[in-house]
Structure 1
Amino acid sequence: MRARIYQPAKTAMQSGTAKTRQWVLEYAADSAREVDPLMGWTSSTDTQSQVRLRFDSKEAALAYAHDKGIEAVVTEPKSRKPVIRARGYGENFVPNRRQVWTH
């Protein structure tokens, strides 16, 4: 049984980084998906592909995989440069601005 351990990226629908600090262990699919001829739904006999475990650290996820005998591949997250402005958004509204604020 193979699995992938990764730290999820933020979704395009959110601006914050919630739910991106935990590590996820996700099993790889063992069988291909099939299309049901009657309804047209996609199905699979592999129930492990539905399992997604969350851990607080990468080491905890690796320890779990090692204890259960799971072959795990770790994908390191790409570091992201923080978007922090020098004075911040509130600087636009202070009464003693150094320059004129125009639209």
Structure 2
Amino acid sequence: MFKALSATTRLSRTTLSRALPSFSTSSARLAIEDPFSKKEAPIIDNETVLALPEEIKEKTVHDATISVSTKVDVSPITGVPEEHIKTRRVRIYQQPKNAMQSGTSNIHHWEMEFDTRQRWENPLMGWTSTGDPLSNMKVQFATPDEAIEHCEKNGLIWYLDVPKVQKELKPKNYGLNFSWNRRTRVSTK
């Protein structure tokens, strides 16, 4: 039993038992991939180790952004035909609240839509048809400034459709109808 254990320990100490690629003939490659050949750990600065996860994410996003010093017009390289860019306007608007529901869930963004082009009625089914690829496209933005910047970058003619300001609602109380300090209240005495 002792001889079997000593034989297995000798085999585990040899270089043949390590998990190395079987087809490799280069010793330089083996030295790089061999974890036992590394003598020290990689150096990491203290700011990276002590940073919060939000700070690390912000730093990686900041490092990944490309800043351009001048305003660039990308309309010649977008691939959109010139008739779709130069001859039509883009409406930037905020979607109104749905009249069927009381919630305000999907109205906190701005949308950009192209003006409509020629449409016709399909004689077979009676559906409305169009040859315009941009007629049904709507793009959403967080602010109108982002939409304006996108339009100017792509060389589009735009106009801003500002929503009407909603009137502030005053809460009404049934008891106010019977108060004596109202101007419209007439005394019956």
How would you bin the TM-score normalised by the shorter chain? 0.7 to 0.9
Partner of 2:28: none
**Per-residue CA distance 1:41-89 (angstroms, 9 max, x = gap):** 11000110110000000100000000011100101111113446379xx
SS in 2 for 1:49: coil
Higher helix fraction: Structure 1 or Structure 2?
2
Unpaired runs of 5+ residues, structure 1, are: 88-103
Check if 1:72 corresponds to 2:158. Answer: yes
Over the matched positions of the two proteins, sequence identity in percent amounts to: 35
Q: How many equivalent residue pairs?
A: 86
Task: Provide TM-score, normalisation by structure 2.
Answer: 0.42
Map residues 1-103 of structure 1 onto 2, 5 A cutoff.
1-29=88-116, 31-83=117-169, 85=171
Task: Provide TM-score, normalisation by structure 1.
Answer: 0.75
The change in CA–CA distance for 1:40 and 1:86 in structure 2 (over 3 A counts) is closer
Unpaired runs of 5+ residues, structure 2, are: 1-87, 174-189
The change in CA–CA distance for 1:86 and 1:2 in structure 2 (over 3 A counts) is same
Larger Rg: 2
* AA aligned opposite 1:21: H
Higher strand fraction: Structure 1 or Structure 2?
1
Aligned CA RMSD, in angstroms, stands at 1.7
